[in-house]
Amino acid sequence: MESFNVSLLAGTIHFNQSYIDYQYQWFQFSTFLAIVPWIYMIPSFFVICYIFKIYLTSNWKKSEPGKNQHVFLVISLSQFTCFLLFLTDFLMTRLPSTGIFTSFCASIPPNHYLKIILVSALYFNYLAMSFPFLLPVIRLIIVICPKSHSKINTNIVKFAIPIILCFPLCFTFYFIPALGVCKQFATPYPFGSVWIYYIKSAFGLRNSFFHLYNIVFWMIASIIANGLLFFKVAQARAKLISAQSGASKKTHTSITMTTLAMIIFYLTNGAFLLVYIFSYGTSVYISYSEIIRSFGNDLQFCVVTWAFYLTHPSFRNNQSVNSNKIFSTSSFRIRTNFF
């Protein structure tokens, strides 16, 4: 403890005897908040594994109705990223909030191991913000360039994915000298419910503002990309279809669900960051925003995964599909005579 400035430990639980003596009690609401997400996350994880299996085992040189190589790749990467975000966020907030590691954390000094958990959660959060933008871009290219979209999208994916995987490093570099710490959650969480934070970041930089600016940027970019995609699809449908079919109505619902899931992800994260920056800990009601944030992240993974699985023709073996009437989108389908 001698190597730490006492002021740096202010607000943390480290070397606090009350937390060192804390005894874990499983029967509290924070424990149930940590258990409940696994009920819907595990089935959703198996679904995205099945989607990725389709990508790996399909013969993409052979044209099949409703299947696009780049769509399956990007949505698989996007949803796996969301699941990894869930796991790392679980280790950063939900699991420590149960109090199971509180006594241990209070008895050790701030360290880089705790920081790795936090930085991993932030890294996957940045990735989860960027991949939704790539999906409508790929579909937009298919609509605009129906004959050459495969070659164009191959180049887009080839360069975009490495860039997306690397760009979070630009917003997490200042964590290199930082140390991870455990802090007490604000009310309504009980005494002993903690979460992982950081101290001693380079140049005193904070992640909150970087995160907020990224949310605003990717939300606007995704809305614009989806808007252009819907506009182009509506134009194609108006030219080729005189009346809206039942399948087309289902398609509209699927598009709405998928887009809403993405927007809710941005909005819940943005709202939480604003609350945390300006008001966190000042009111019991404001503290509930942390609970909403976690479930908002879960929503993107579950809704997009199931919307893609339940509406895409590749997973409906019991229904014959006319190859001239399939137009697959990033996480939804549209039946037209376009292809």
Domains of the chain (ranges; CATH) run 6-315+322-334 (1.20.1070.10)
| Alpha carbon distance 200, 217 (integer Å) | 28
Residue 18 vs residue 286, higher pLDDT: 18
- If one compares 290 and 12, the residue with the highest pLDDT of the two is 12
Q: What percent of the chain has pLDDT over 90?
A: 38
Tokens of 64: 């099949």
What was the pLDDT predicted at 7? 65
Q: Which two tokens stand for residue 41?
A: 């996350």
> Does position 97 have pLDDT exceeding 90, yes or no?
yes
Angle, alpha carbons 230-127-268 (nearest 5°): 70
- Six-digit token pair at 211? 């995160």
d(CA 207, CA 4): 22
The answer to whether residues 86 and 7 touch, using CB atoms and an 8 Å cutoff, is no
Q: Indicate the pTM of the whole model.
A: 0.83
59 vs 46, residue with greater confidence: 46
In the predicted model, what is the mean pLDDT of residues 143-153? 85
pLDDT at 138: 87
Tens-digit pLDDT profile for residues 180-225: 999 998 877 889 999 999 999 999 898 888 988 898 898 888 888 8
Sign of dihedral through CA atoms 143, 147, 153, 156? negative
Collapsing DSSP to helix, strand or coil, 327 comes out as strand
> Across residues 221-231, what is the average pLDDT?
83
CA distance 16 to 228: 55
Output the CA torsion sign for 27, 30, 31, 32: positive
Q: Among 124, 122, 53, which Cα is nearest to 84's? A: 124
Kindly report the number of other CB atoms within 10 A of residue 269's CB atom. Answer: 22
Burial of 28 (0-12, 13-18, 19+ CB in 10 A): middle
Residue 82's pLDDT is what?
A: 92
pLDDT over 70 for what percent of the chain?
76
Confidence of residue 67 (pLDDT cuts 50, 70, 90): confident
* Residue 248 predicted with pLDDT over 70: no
Per-residue confidence band for 1, with pLDDT thresholds at 50, 70 and 90: very low
Amino acid code (one letter) for 330: S
- Both tokens of 97, joined, read 């909030």
Q: Is the pLDDT of residue 98 over 80?
A: yes
pLDDT at 258: 62
**Dist. CA 319–CA 311, nearest whole Å:** 12
Q: Are 272 and 290 in contact (CB under 8 A)?
A: yes
State in Å, rounded, how far the first CA of the chain is from the last one.
68
pLDDT mean across residues, the chain: 80
pLDDT of residue 121: 95
* Amino acid identity, position 237: R
